[in-house]
A and B are shown apart, each in its own frame.
Chain A
Amino acid sequence: MSVIKPLSGAQAVAEAMRQINPDVVVAYPITPQTPVVEYFAQFVANGLVDTETIPVESEHSAMSATVGASAAGARAMCATSSQGLALMWEVVAAVPGLRLPIVMPIVNRALSAPINIHCDHSDTMGATTIGWIQIFSENAQEAYENMFLALRLAEHKDVLIPAMVMQDGFIISHGVENVKILDDDVVKKFVGERNPDRFLLDVKNPYTIGPLALPDYYFEIKRQQEEAMENAKKIYLEVGEDLSKLTGNKYPYFEEYRIEDAAAVIIVLASAAGTAKDAIDEMRVDGKKVGLLKPKLFRPFPYKEIRDAVKNIPVIGVLDRSISFGSYAPLYTEIRNSLFELENKPKLQSYIFGLGGKDIFKNDIKQIFEELLSGKVNPEEQKYIGLRG
């Protein structure tokens, strides 16, 4: 059974955390993640969870305390955005090497400077190379469900690496939508208890966590992390199948929307994908064969699967909500890499949109499709949507 509620993305994720009932949550409030912490703090104050929350003075301390709790054997969570992620960076980068399955909801927000509170993906795109699983959510519903998926995936014995669950700042975090909420008992059964093989407070089986590893073993430990990532890719689908039995929704690496016969496809992450679907339906009525591919799992990245999905598409536009200064945009880079093995590659065009919360409209997306359909694309030129002249 489930119930539909009007919830913001932030509320939906807080609700997921309430149902998960983690042992420890340490998060320092930062716009637009703040309501996640506020709602969760209410659950704690009202006795709806058994969670211990630890007040801290910064994100660096928040992630440090989360790491401590997780190493001690607790199921521990944190949550942040933008500058908060930047401030906790030192500790964030250490978590995968410590093999701690911390799940952290992220409400995507632009990085300073200039200071800006609105959505783009520059915060988490800066954290793609350090060994966290990254799952993007289109809406509040996906953000809610991805929390359970991320938790079971991160804690799987063949994975044991941390996971970020992203949602778009304000657009999703502060927008109220219909969200289907599972029964508490169903979630409780799905997430179970964290049962680590080894943990710091297991005094009968002492072990060391976070030791010095010089050239003798550092390299080997990093190689094991990569193996965990490879496993994560496989187990993501397995956990997704289990979750699917509860929600009725599917958890593929990416969503394909009307791409079978498409003459042009847009690839875009998160909330803009929903707007794109409406644009596609309207263009299809006019006989324009257009479609969408929306990656959900960004780390590990499903190169081969995306290659197979788009190999027959004549032209693809990749829309990035962040810039990778001095190089191709993050999503564009991955798509370009995915296609390398193909003999007949689709034509590609890179677009940057929505930095610092600049709105993207259905009409912008239609214009992009028209440009793609015209075939006038240049894979080495980065175009900008809605930029003031």
Chain B
Amino acid sequence: MTAATKGLFEVRMHGRAGQGAKSGSQMLAEAAFKQGKWIQAFPEYGSERRGAPTVSYTRISDKALRTHEPITNPDAVMVFDMGLIRAVPVTAGLNEEAGILIVNTTKSVEEIRQIIGFKGKIYVIDATGISLDLLKIDAPNVPMLGALVKAANIVPLEAAEEIIKATFLEKIGMEKVEKNIQGLHRGYEEVKNG
């Protein structure tokens, strides 16, 4: 069953604390919320320290959500740090027919496929490179979000823009918000699939 027919789209984000996977899952949820969807965004918490592996989830639904179980069969998995691939079973529960895997990497789709052995759709994006280029920090969440918008078409790019503005304006000011919006667009445009 595709995400469109079941009216439910579930995303799991694997990152490292500090990379913004938690806010990434929330921004995605809020963008979908703006489209009138029912949403859940929730992180898994451990003993938080910068660099530790993190998992966060987004559920987007046409109907009210009641379940509070973690997502075990995601429609999309986003990997914010290549190094996690060896430590964490990132493709667990990801359907090889319909599932989407998006990896923040400078490697090609073929190289990633060899490393992970996932037979389904793989997308690669140098989200860290984009973030370093625009903001001089490793905050790949926004370009990753752009890549997801392109790969899954689950929310319009404009909705993501709006949420980025709402999330960051007060904290970092308009100049950096604009850089983030550029990052979103670059993620959208530069993502490659194989």
Contact = CB atoms under 8 A, between A and B. Distances in A.
B42 interface: yes
Interface string B15-56: 000000000001001100100001111110100000000000
B83 interface: no
A206 B68 CA distance: 51
B45 A118 contact: yes
B136 interface: no
A274 B33 contact: no
Contacts of A277: 66-67
A271 interface: yes
Interface of A: 6, 32, 117-118, 139, 168, 170-172, 174-178, 271-272, 274-275, 277-278, 359-362
B69 interface: yes
Given A118-B45, A170-B45, A176-B42, A361 B33 contact: no
Contact of A175 (B33, B40, B66): B40
Contact of B26 (A176, A274, A359): A176
Nearest to B34: A6
A272 B68 contact: yes
Given A6-B39, A174-B43, A176-B42, A275 B26 contact: no
Interface string B60-86: 000011111110100000000000000
Given A176-B29, A278-B66, 20 more contacts: A6-B26, A6-B29, A117-B45, A139-B66, A170-B42, A170-B45, A171-B68, A174-B45, A176-B30, A176-B41, A177-B39, A178-B33, A272-B68, A274-B65, A274-B68, A275-B66, A359-B70, A361-B69, A361-B70, A362-B69
B67 A175 contact: no
Choose among B43, B64, B67 the residue with the greatest number of A CB atoms under 10 Å from its CB.
B67
Given A275-B66, A278-B66, A362-B69, A178 B39 contact: yes
A271 B81 CA distance: 32
A271 B67 CA distance: 8
Number of contact residues on B: which range applies? 10 to 19
B69 A275 contact: yes
Nearest to B57: A175
B35 to A, nearest CB: 12
Interface of B: 26, 29-30, 33, 38-43, 45, 64-70, 72
A354 to B, nearest CB: 11
Nearest to B66: A274
A177 B70 CA distance: 14
Nearest to B163: A6
A308 B72 CA distance: 38
A275 B45 CA distance: 20
Given A6-B33, A118-B45, A170-B45, A176 B40 contact: yes
A275 B26 CA distance: 21
A171 B42 contact: yes
Across the A-B interface, the 10 shortest Cβ-Cβ residue pairs: A175-B42, A274-B66, A271-B68, A176-B41, A6-B33, A275-B67, A278-B67, A361-B69, A277-B66, A275-B69
A137 to B, nearest CB: 12
Contacts of B65: 177-178, 274
A285 to B, nearest CB: 14
Contacts of B67: 274-275, 277-278, 362
A3 to B, nearest CB: 12
Given A118-B45, A174-B45, A176-B29, A359 B69 contact: yes
21 contacts: A6-B26, A6-B29, A6-B30, A6-B39, A139-B68, A171-B42, A175-B40, A176-B40, A176-B41, A176-B42, A177-B39, A177-B40, A178-B38, A178-B65, A271-B68, A274-B66, A275-B68, A275-B69, A359-B69, A361-B69, A361-B70
Choose among B67, B68, B69 the residue with the greatest number of A CB atoms under 10 Å from its CB.
B68
Nearest to A270: B68
B45 A175 contact: no
B141 to A, nearest CB: 15
A282 to B, nearest CB: 11
Contact of A172 (B29, B38, B68, B72): B68
Contact of B39 (A32, A171, A176, A278): A176
A274 B41 CA distance: 16
A139 B39 CA distance: 13
A135 to B, nearest CB: 18
B194 to A, nearest CB: 33
B38 A175 contact: no
Contacts of A271: 68
A275 B66 CA distance: 6
B72 A175 contact: no
B2 to A, nearest CB: 19
A253 B43 CA distance: 31
Contacts of B68: 139, 168, 171-172, 175, 271-272, 274-275
Contacts of A359: 69-70
A103 to B, nearest CB: 24
A277 B67 CA distance: 8
